[in-house]
Structures are given as structure tokens and as C-alpha cells.
Structure 1
Amino acid sequence: MVDLFAEELPSDPPAEAADPHAPLADRLRPASLDAIVGQDHLTGPDGAIGRMIAAGKLSSMVLWGPPGTGKTSIARLLADAVGLRFVALSAVFSGVADLKKIFSEARVAAKAGRRTLLFVDEIHRFNRSQQDGFLPFVEDGTITLVGATTENPSFELNAALLSRCQVLILRRLGPEALASLLDRAEALVGRSLPLTTDAREALIASADGDGRFLLNQAETLFDVGLDEPLDPAGLASFLQRRVAVYDKDREGHYNLISALHKSIRGSDPQAALYYLARMLVAGEEPLFVLRRLVRTAVEDIGLADPQALVQCLAAKDAYDFLGSPEGELAIVQACLYLAAAPKSNAAYKAQKAAWRSARETGSLMPPMNIVNAPTKMMKEAGYGKDYAYDHDTEDGFSGADYWPEEMTAQAYYHPVNRGFEAKIAERLAFWDEKRRQRRKQH
């Protein structure tokens, strides 16, 4: 007997032949996981995805990687590999109503014995409450969630959702992987790209690891009737070079500023200049870079070269005065000065130690002899009594004890034996010896 009130089971759309008018990148979508290029660390036999496929069971996952590295293709092929129903949506164009409908259909499918793989492109675009909506359906197995994002999941996704997903990192495509995509494109179209060998390499380099961008550029070259192959110069004038991926409020921003800081700390002016150029060419605010340079001057150089801070502040003033692009040369000068300067984090470590000590000791009173006595009553109470005025001593140094009575003298600052701090170390050692002699005398 047929149940007329049974819920209709949704099904996958019928397979379609590749549309000859579709973009080249779509026509070249891989038909199996082993055809994915550049991600063998995931799709190979020893990779996380390869092992899941071999076991015949997928866990929910987040595919994190740059644009054009195969996230969507991998998701589609995963569903085919383990026999899951495939549903895809984009977080850019979808809302709560779309999710409710998908979850409802997935429950119906699950009752019929067919699980659903839900692929969510740009999953980081969903807000926190929308992300929470996935949790019950992931937990009870109604859906296997595969999210794709170009943003760092630890910043953009809820901790609760992340704890239920495996984060798999896709790598930007290297020259060999990109070259293989061009080979496939030429085989599909049936002719070679109208490029010299050097121009072909330049085209691959211009893609910046993005396979989709590379294929779109290749399609443009296929579509025009060129009589002679283009050389690198001809290619550069014919195609616009891809703009570097750089979102000022997202991970690329923080990756590059971190690389700049660490290159300076590592005394590599060439690498520091490269990352500085990457940021400024991509449109970063020069004042943001200058703030980091000032931070680097006091954190990683400090008193090993006190002029480092002066150079940074002078660069800021010069940039304020000149603007771009002339003022950017002052930023370059400050960057190179910092990278070439002797390094010390002694002041940085001293600050942390002193702050920690201040929090632990609370409100201890300084010794009475160094406390100011602006009133008669305070003088009578012993404030400022027996204070040794250093300038009245022979060496301009009294060697007095300036620490609270409840504390022993601390040593927060330990200058390194580099740059100007080496002289500071000698001076501190001289004063320490004077203090020891004074204690022996008393």
C-alpha cells in the first residue's frame, strides 16, 4: 500500500554533460580525487582525505586555503567517493530559511538511509548564530558538513563548530601544479597556448598560486586569434596581472606584518624590504606599517641602538610631511635601519618582569629616606630623612638602597653585550660594584 502522505525524498540533480560553452575552469573540473593537483598531502593515500575515502567514512571538515586551490572540486568528489547526497550553498547568498530547508530535506533523506554532504562555500560569511545552527545536525549525523574558507578558521568560525570539524589546509598551487593545469587545458582545447616558453612561465607566475585565475587567463588567450606566440613583454601588455590577495582586516594582513617584524628581528634587511613592499604595493596604510616599525624598535632593538626609535619617529614625520609615494622612502630607510641594527629585547623583558613584580607586591611603601616631605608634619614623621643627594658625592653616585623594606633588590634589566647596550652593561657593572663596596663599609 502506498503512503500518500509520505514525505518526498529529495534527490541529487541528474548528471549533465559538460557544457561546451561553460568557462574553461568549469570544463576542467577533475572527475576524481586523484586528478586534484597540488594537494597530495590531503588527497594522497597517506593524507587525511585519502584515509577517510579508504575507510569509506567522512568526518565533517573545513577546507581552508587560498582561492583557486580546489576546495569546491574536492567537496563534490568527496560526496561521490563515499556515496553521499551532495548539496551545495554559498554563505554569501544564503540565509536562515535556506539552511532550514536543507536541514529538513537532509532529515528526510536520512530516514530513507541516505546521508547528505552539505558543502558551504565561504562558510566564514555566516554569523555566529548561523554557525551554531549547524551543530545539532552535525552531531546527530544528519549532515556531513564540508565548509570552505579562505580565512583563518580560528578567527572566523565558532569554537563549538570547529571542535566538531577537522580543519584541512590546502596549499597554494606551485609552478608544477599550475603547469599541469595548462597542459590539461591545451589537451581539452586541442591546441597549444600562443606563448613562448618564457611567457608561459610568466603566465604561471602571474597566477600567484590560483588555478582558477590561471585557467581564466588561458581561456582569454585561446579565444583570441594571435598570429605569433607572445613573449613575456607581449603577454604583460595583453593580460592584466592578477592583483595580490591582501585583505587589510584579515589573515593576509597579519601574515605579512608578522613576516616583516620577524625579518627585522632576524637582521635580514632584504627580506624585511620585500615584505614591506608587499604590504605597501597592495595598499596597506603606511601609518599601520610605521606603528609596527616603532614597536619593533623598542621591542627588538631597544637600547642596543637608541637611534632606532628616533629613525622610526623621523620616518613617521617625513611621511606626514611628504605623503605617498615620496614619503614611503623614509619608511624604507627606517625598515632597513632596524633590520641592520644590533638587536636586544632586554628592555622588553625588563618591562614584563617589572610589571609582574608590581602586580605581585601591591602597594609597598618606598623607603622613607627617598619619600618627598612637602609638609612639616611629614618631615617630623621621618619622610626624606637621611636622603643622600647623589650629586653631592664624589662619583655622582651614592649607592643608596631605593627598594621597599619588604623587598630585596631585583634585577629586571639585563643588557646584552651588543651595540650601545654593551656600554650600558659596563656602567651597570661599575655601579653594582660601588654598591657592594658601600654595603661592606656599612
Structure 2
Amino acid sequence: MGDLFDQDPSGGQSDRAAEPDGTGTAPRPLADRLRPRALSEVIGQQQVLGPDAPLGVMLASNSLSSLVLWGPPGVGKTTIARLLADETDLHFVQISAIFTGVADLKKVFEAARQRRRIGQGTLLFVDEIHRFNKAQQDGFLPHMEDGTVLLVGATTENPSFELNAALLSRAQVLVLERLGGEDLEALLTRAEAELNRELPLTEAARATLKDMADGDGRALLNLVEQVAAWTVKDPLDPEALSTRLMRRAAKYDKSGEEHYNLISALHKSVRGSDPDAALYWYARMLTGGEDPRFLARRLTRMAVEDIGMADPQAQTVCLDAWNAYERLGSPEGELALAQAVIYVALAPKSNAGYVAYKGAMRLAKQTGSAMPPKHILNAPTSMMKDQGYGTGYAYDHDAEDGFSGQNYFPDDVPRPDLYQPVERGFERDLKKRLEYFEKLRVKRNGG
């Protein structure tokens, strides 16, 4: 395996990929041939590169600082770091956290110190920076603070979870986005110009090719190289293209941020009563390999938290769907869960029970060990009867309307209004019942 660094730590520039010379050398990959030579050639990412965006402002004011570039694969993190070094006349050094150890880092920092003595700054690009542990990340701090290196880290993971606070306090996080349809079309057009021919695809198949890339520019160019190598008589339609090419697997980390992002999207779509969006996010998680049991559990939680007593049947529907999945397995059981998704999305919504529960928990913590009123305590012994346990208790079934209106809270705890049902679904009826019993309570207590 070659060096870990794009440039020799001693300061020598690394060689670029060789051009084809007719001696059997493999041609440079299309992605390398199309690598931008200036920041103005970068496709997309104007939210960080535009004249009023963070990098545009930094470069215009000659105030480039350490950065963390956070974004999915194939959106230009490495390219932007290289071009930043070119724009600022900094010596570019690239390492990968996957292959670099402490000894390698010491060499990098020592070489950077030597360059600094002769007036040459160093831009240190660390790919997969989240792979370094917290102690290794701390090792960068003194070299960032004294100006030995200007650090540019790249990560596909959320920096707030994966990078320590000390490092984040010394580096600005810039978010790079997956390439949109217009960006991918611009890249595809640039690739065809480089190849000096159009791809043998119908317009619909061209759109399918971009969909296959899933926002990853590098993946798109790799697909373009495959298509360009084919000899076909007529332009391919989407079905023919899909037969020849494998669709790129969607990015999904079942234990990482993507997992939490998508379950949040599903939950909020259900809460927002949008069954189409809810089904989409449900399908996205399934195609990413999510455990349907996790989805069944979360759907049941949604029924309890966001629907509650507005439709008590929602919880039963979710539990039945969960049970159907356990009995049927995949794929039949996943359809049962999909139907539960539709049901909970369209059910009337109320979080009144959830709010009431949280209020009761707060009140319980505030009131500590306050005793129940004595009239609702059992008195199994004569001593307890002498203490007044059970004295004055009214048996509700014997009371008029089956309601005594007695107080059941501790004597020194004012009666709260914890459960406040909404005017939706079954809770409309429950609200009427609450109001009915409150009127009786006031009447029974002489109000």
C-alpha cells in the first residue's frame, strides 16, 4: 500500500495520477479527470462556497480558520479542502484517520513545524476525522492553537456526537449537502463533454441514472463510466438501464444518526396526519434494513403519545399489527405494520394523556411522601380505626349518580387539572364526562 499522505510529510509534493501514455498505463478515472481545479468549478455547495457564505467570506477577508466539513460521501469534501490549500498557498497534507497512528501524526506535525520556520503554512486535511478517539483528537489542539497546522476535517457523522467539545470550539463546522437533481445534471453534462459524446440513454433513463447515484457525485461518475463503455444500438430506457446497472444502496446506518433522523421523520409525519409521508419514511427505513420490530414498537409509542384517548383503538391496531408481524414474518407482516402506519396517521390526535402523565410525574416528585387522606385508607386493625383510617369514606356505588365527589388527593395538595382532553375524536366524549363529574363534585361539596 502507498503512503498514507497525499504529500510527503517532509514537504515534497506528491505526484498526480499519470496520464495515459500509450504504454499500457490505465486511464485516469473519470472522477479524477473531472476534479475541479478551482473553487469556482465546484458543483453545488453554494451554501458554504457562495460569496456571502462562510468560505466565500473567509477567503475574501483572508481569514481562513480550521474547519470540519460534514456531509455524505461524494459531495466534494476532499476536493474543497485541496482547493482551499491552493487558494491560500498552504502546503496540502492529507491523512486518513483509518490508517494513521500516533507515530504518523508526530511526523506530520514535525514536518509542518519545519515548513513554518521557512514561512510555509500547512493545511492538514483529515479524512474520516471521527475515527480518531477523543484522546487522539485532543492531540491536534496545541498544533491548531500555535498555528502549526490549519486543520480541515471531513466526516460523514454528526460532529456534535463524534468530535470532542475542545476540537469543535476551535473549528467551524460547515455542512455539505447531497447533490440535487440540477447539480447531478450539471455533473453529467460535464462528464459527457469530457467523454466527447452523449450517453446512450433516453431522457427517462437519464433521470433514472441520476436517481441511482443518490446524491453522490463520485457514484454518478462511476456509473457514467460503465454506461459509456457499452455498445448499444438504440438509447436505453429505464428498464433496460436498471437491468444492466445495480441501483446504489441508500445510505442508512441502523445505529447512527440516519436511524434517528428517519424515525423522527416518520413520527412527525404521523403526528402531522400525513399517511403518504409516513408510509414513505416507513419504507425508507425498511429498505435500509431496519428491524420491523423496532418500527412496531415506535408505532405503538406514537399511538400512545400522539393519539391517546382521542382514539383508544389506535393502540390496539398497532399491537395487533405487531403480533401479525411476529406470526407472519417478512414480507407479509410488514404490510400489517404499513396498515398500522396509515391508521395512526389518520387517527384523531391528542397528547392530553401524555401531558397529564408528565404533569402527574412532576407533581409526585414535588409532593414527596404526602399521605393519602385518611378516609380512603383501609383499616384492617383496631389501632388503625382508632387513628381515623377509613372514617368518613363514602362508597360511590351507594351515592346518588354513583359519584360521591370526595377528595382523593393528599390533604395538603391542591387539586390539579392534569388531564385536559381536546375536542377531537373520542376525547370529545371524555371531556363531557369530566365536565359532568366536575359539576357533581361542586354540588356534592356545597359549591
TM-score normalised by structure 2 residue count: 0.94
1:236 alignment partner, SS class: helix
1:179 aligns with 2:185: yes
Distance 1:105 1:64 in 2: 27
1:78 aligns with 2:84: yes
Please state how far the C-alpha of 1:10 moved relative to its aligned partner: 2.6
Distance 2:38 2:322 in 1: 54
Distance 2:14 2:102 in 1: 26
Deviations 1:332-384 (A, max 9, x none): 11111100000001111111111111111111111110112222211111111
* Counterpart position of 1:41: 47
* Counterpart position of 1:5: none
Matches within 5 A, 1:398-413: 398-413=404-419
1:9–1:108 contact (8 Å) kept in structure 2: no
Deviations 1:140-187 (A, max 9, x none): 221111111111111111111111111101111011111111111111
* Counterpart position of 1:290: 296
Distance 1:287 1:335 in 2: 13
Percent of pairs identical after alignment?
60
Distance 1:150 1:16 in 2: 26
Distance 1:17 1:363 in 2: 75
Distance 1:19 1:76 in 2: 20
1:396 aligns with 2:402: yes
Change (3 A) 1:9 1:328: closer
* Counterpart position of 1:4: none
Please state how far the C-alpha of 1:19 moved relative to its aligned partner: 3.2
* Counterpart position of 1:386: 392
* Counterpart position of 2:257: 251
* Counterpart position of 1:117: 123
* Counterpart position of 2:166: 160
Distance 2:159 2:228 in 1: 38
* Counterpart position of 1:67: 73
Distance 2:283 2:397 in 1: 51
* Counterpart position of 1:348: 354
Residue identity opposite 2:64 in structure 1: L
1:382 alignment partner, SS class: coil
1:426 aligns with 2:445: no
Runs of 4+, deviation exceeding 3 Å: 14-20
Distance 1:36 1:410 in 2: 61
Residue identity opposite 2:159 in structure 1: P
Deviations 1:193-224 (A, max 9, x none): 12122211111122111100000000111223
Matches within 5 A, 1:221-260: 221-260=227-266
1:193–1:221 contact (8 Å) kept in structure 2: yes
Residue identity opposite 2:49 in structure 1: T
Distance 1:286 1:97 in 2: 45
1:136 aligns with 2:142: yes
1:323 aligns with 2:305: no
Deviations 1:386-406 (A, max 9, x none): 111111112111000111111
The 10-residue stretch of structure 1 (9-18 or 240-249) with the greater mean CA deviation from structure 2 = 9-18
Distance 1:160 1:19 in 2: 43
* Counterpart position of 2:29: 23
1:327 alignment partner, SS class: helix
1:440 alignment partner, SS class: coil
Residue identity opposite 1:314 in structure 2: D
Distance 1:407 1:254 in 2: 40
* Counterpart position of 1:308: 314
2:9–2:93 contact (8 Å) kept in structure 1: no
1:308 alignment partner, SS class: helix
Distance 1:379 1:440 in 2: 28
2:446 alignment partner, SS class: helix
Residue identity opposite 1:188 in structure 2: E
Distance 1:324 1:376 in 2: 62
Deviations 1:313-342 (A, max 9, x none): 111111110000111111011111100000
1:395 alignment partner, SS class: helix
Distance 1:294 1:97 in 2: 51
1:439 aligns with 2:445: yes
Please state how far the C-alpha of 1:18 moved relative to its aligned partner: 5.7
The 10-residue stretch of structure 1 (332-341 or 370-379) with the greater mean CA deviation from structure 2 = 370-379
Equivalenced residues, count: 434
1:42–1:48 contact (8 Å) kept in structure 2: yes
